[in-house]
A and B are shown apart, each in its own frame.
Chain A
Amino acid sequence: MPGSAWWRAVAVAAVGVAVASCSGEGRRASAGTPTELRLAIGGESEEGYDPTLGWGRYGSPLFQSTLLTRDADLQVVNDLATRHEVSPDGLVWTVDIRTDAKFTDGEPVTARDVAYTFTAAAKSGGSTDVTVLREAVAVDDDTVELRLTKPQSTFVNRLVSLGIVPEHAHGPDYARKPVGSGPFVFEQWDEGQQLIVRRNDAYYGAKPAFERVVFVFTGEDASLAAARSGQVDVAALPPSLATGELPGLRLTRVESVDNRGIAFPFEPDEGRRTAEGRPIGNDVTSDRAVRRAVNVALDRQALVDGVLNGYGRPATGPVDGLPWNEPAAAITDKDPEGAKRALEAAGWVDADGDGVRERGGTEAEFPLLYPAGDSVRQGLALAVADMLKPIGIAVTPKGESWDVIRTRMHADPVLFGWGSHDATEMFNLYSSAQAGVELWNPALYRNAVVDGELDAAMAAVDPGRAGEHWKAAQRQFGPGADAAWAWLVNLDHVYYADACLDLGRLQVEPHGHGWPITQGIAGWKWTC
């Protein structure tokens, strides 16, 4: 008896495999331009598709539309909004919205829905931060006022990222049955497997070229397998798996601001501790000459080639490639001789001949912490140690847990990764007001000029003025001046895409690989 059950199971499974292998070849075998697009780029939102809980905070929210959006150059342009204006005191954002937008249930999108969305997001306790909002009020059908508790020029990023939900249909089951005014309509979500969306033919903007888009939520290995066997058109892969060409697929590298850099403790070691008991200060990195010498001596292109296998570009600062980046803050690196001269001039000499410089009894040595298990950061830390040895600085790379890193980050240099389309991040990393808050400004960097510029940038009403202040701050904290951090590299995000698929011009992507590529999905098209 057990024997026959087993044979039955095998037979059934074998038949099943045969059936699947026939049906699996459907799309590519059929003639003509496919109307369906399949993506394996991860990014499943397990808690559903509710923007007030954080859905779509980068990339396209698909089902919902946002007030503003960023074009391929990351410039802010209108989407649902027709105009937005900030009051002279920076506290009130007035937004006019278009009147022809409809939710997919047929109801028009009104200012009340916008006000409702912002209010709900501010209270929800999800992963989008709208806590600066005091209240959102619909002034009339197509005008909404967003009133803030303090001026914040970077609030524009909430207008860019927060998808508008319908007040009348936003209940407990909304996250699993999203209704919005975006380019796509929710069709089916097999949790843990795939999300199927359909084109919204009533969408007010440029309509996508695909009738359906399927997002497959596979792991990295299965994504590669799916791409190889032609079951998906785009797959996001870690560079380690992106080896060689695959038939019919094009290796697409997208530049990102997904950066890696070293935070140097800014204070000298005077035995002080934070309120939590974390030690503060480092007698080596608190010397500006050391920080500058490290910045100058590193060969960042070699880091890109050696550690990232070429999938990246050297980093000149924390916001490479973003509109508010200051190119003038960059320096020429790969100059160990210059670094040595600077160290000598600052009094760091190797008197005892052990290969490590010292000054006043302090050896030029420090550990470099990185999260254990992150192979890219480990590789970078080891390469940095090798590059600094010839100039007489001894670096000991150490993989640690985030717990240890949090405790040590005010006293030991740490290899961090950042990168955001929201300039608030630069404020958080360099403002003394954020010193030791969360993981921000871990080095406890403090410069009154930088603080002034950052505060002015946050308070600026005009985006152009804000940009000038952001740039001025970079000239001050950048490697040529305070050299508060040593930024090393920006990663490239790697995708395999069907050779017939035109992804258009892609944005510089933020920290986080995969979903950001969907930002321009409505403009993608088949070319053959």
Chain B
Amino acid sequence: MLTAGSAARPVVAAVVARTARLVLLLTAVAVASFVLMVNSPVDPVAAYVGADVASLGPAQRALIAQRWGLDDPAHERFLSWFGNLLGGDFGFSLTFNRPVLEVIGDKFLASLALMALAWLLSGVLGFGLGLVAGVRRGWFADRAITWLSYALASAPTFWVGLLLLYVFAVSLNWAPVCCAVPIGVPADEVGLGDRLAHLALPAITLSVVGIAPVVLHTRQAVVDALASDHVAFARAQGERGVGLVLHRVVRNAAAPALLLQFGSLGELFGGSVLAEQVFSYPGLGAATTTAALGQDVPLLLGIALFTTVLVFAGNLVGDRVHALLDPRSRLVDLRGTR
């Protein structure tokens, strides 16, 4: 009983501290995003009406501004939004003409599959390649992999997307050119295969964002681990080849890859904005573009908060998994949050 109690106290303290940090972070993100949106040079009414703004009179403009609440002072708009938020009401998206939570829920489901697949791809592929490069340091495989990583790191996501689109969708006709479902097929006839087929190119495009850092960090970690005393000891005992790498190196080298993967959720989300645009994939990234271009403040704030939570949770999980993998980091963690 005594040991359980003393072990629980730091955990409770850690949870409280993390929660407080999250609340602070969310508030800061909300305020900052709102200030940016309000000061944006884009005229919200013109953005909403689009090409037709020319035929819109001052009277109609006033009606739109009134419906959107643009006439109220900025701080009042923010406070009323914030008040509603505390009551669980995220507001109403004007570009999509439906509640913000519904929009985010819908779009996130589509994005989730895409981001999860891309995340797995980049993590597994990146770790594998990094492992090979590290083990074969200085050899041809290492140079090829390192070169590939630099190339991927400097390739813009949308460009990779367009390239894949032209090669696989247009020239080879292997993959669909757009969307998350086949063109013209009723929703109840869309199968899992269809969905996966439409997921493949966007997911590969998106995974490109994350591969290079994982490869390069893993490579370095492998190199370090191979140079360490315990590997020298194992070698002295006669361990060689794959066995040595699997038993003595992988666990040590996995830490940076894992932390990077969990820490990169923000970049993954940023990349999805571009990948979804190229492939007309209807996820949260595409919705973000629409909301930003349309000056849809409630939706954009909702998405900002949502991604903040996502990234925060990613980092938290990363820390936990890291602690499981490398017990030494747990000591640091406890001391840090005391």
Contacts and interface: CB of A to CB of B under 8 A. Distances in A.
Contact of A125 (B64, B98, B170, B195): B64
B224 to A, nearest CB: 21
A229 B170 contact: yes
B174 A188 contact: no
Interface string A432-446: 000001111000000
Contacts of B53: 438-439
Contacts, number: 213
Contacts of B67: 124-125
Contact of B280 (A18, A54, A214, A219): A219
B128 A6 contact: yes
B184 interface: yes
A20 B198 contact: yes
Contact of B196 (A15, A21, A440): A15
A253 interface: no
A471 B88 CA distance: 58
Interface in B158-207: 162, 165-166, 168-170, 173-184, 186-187, 191, 193-200, 203
Interface stretch (A284-292, A302-310, A419-427, A518-526): A419-427
B117 interface: yes
Q: Helix, strand, loop or mixed for chain B's interface?
A: helix
Nearest to B290: A46
Interface stretch (B13-21, B55-63, B301-309): B55-63
Contacts of B66: 125
A392 to B, nearest CB: 34
B121 A24 contact: no
Interface in A186-242: 187-188, 190-194, 196, 212, 214, 216-219, 221-222, 225-226, 228-229, 231-232
B96 interface: yes
A13 B196 contact: yes
Contacts of A5: 120, 124
B154 interface: no
A425 B55 contact: yes
Interface stretch (B28-36, B44-52, B141-149, B264-272): B44-52
Given A16-B193, A17-B200, A24-B176, A3 B124 contact: yes
A324 interface: no
A276 interface: no
A196 B186 CA distance: 8
A3 to B, nearest CB: 7
A126 interface: yes
A356 B175 CA distance: 59
A2 B55 contact: no
B279 interface: yes
B152 interface: no
Contact of B200 (A13, A188, A219, A439): A13
A219 B202 CA distance: 14
B58 A188 contact: no
Given A127-B50, A511-B54, A193 B180 contact: yes
A11 B186 CA distance: 26
B175 A190 contact: no
Contact of A222 (B57, B165, B174): B165
Contacts of A402: 41, 43, 46
Contacts of B49: 54, 127
A403 B165 contact: no
A362 interface: no
B211 interface: no
Contact of B178 (A187, A216, A401, A439): A216
A125 to B, nearest CB: 3
Contacts of B186: 187-188, 196
B260 interface: no
Contacts of A15: 193, 196
Given A36-B184, A229-B173, A425-B55, A191 B106 contact: yes
Given A6-B121, A226-B177, A216 B183 contact: yes
B182 A438 contact: no
Contacts of B194: 16, 19-20, 23
Interface string B60-81: 1101101110000000000000
B179 A194 contact: yes
A232 B228 CA distance: 60
A17 B142 CA distance: 31
Interface string B95-107: 1111000000011
7 contacts: A2-B128, A16-B193, A191-B96, A194-B179, A196-B184, A229-B173, A231-B176
Interface of A: 2-3, 5-6, 9, 12-21, 23-24, 36, 38, 46-48, 50, 53-54, 57-58, 123-131, 175-176, 187-188, 190-194, 196, 212, 214, 216-219, 221-222, 225-226, 228-229, 231-232, 401-403, 418, 420, 422, 424-425, 428, 437-440, 511-512
Given A2-B124, A16-B196, 13 more contacts: A9-B121, A21-B197, A23-B182, A46-B97, A127-B64, A131-B60, A190-B187, A218-B177, A221-B162, A229-B169, A229-B173, A438-B58, A438-B61
**6 nearest A-B residue pairs (beta carbon):** A192-B282, A16-B196, A20-B197, A125-B67, A47-B97, A16-B197
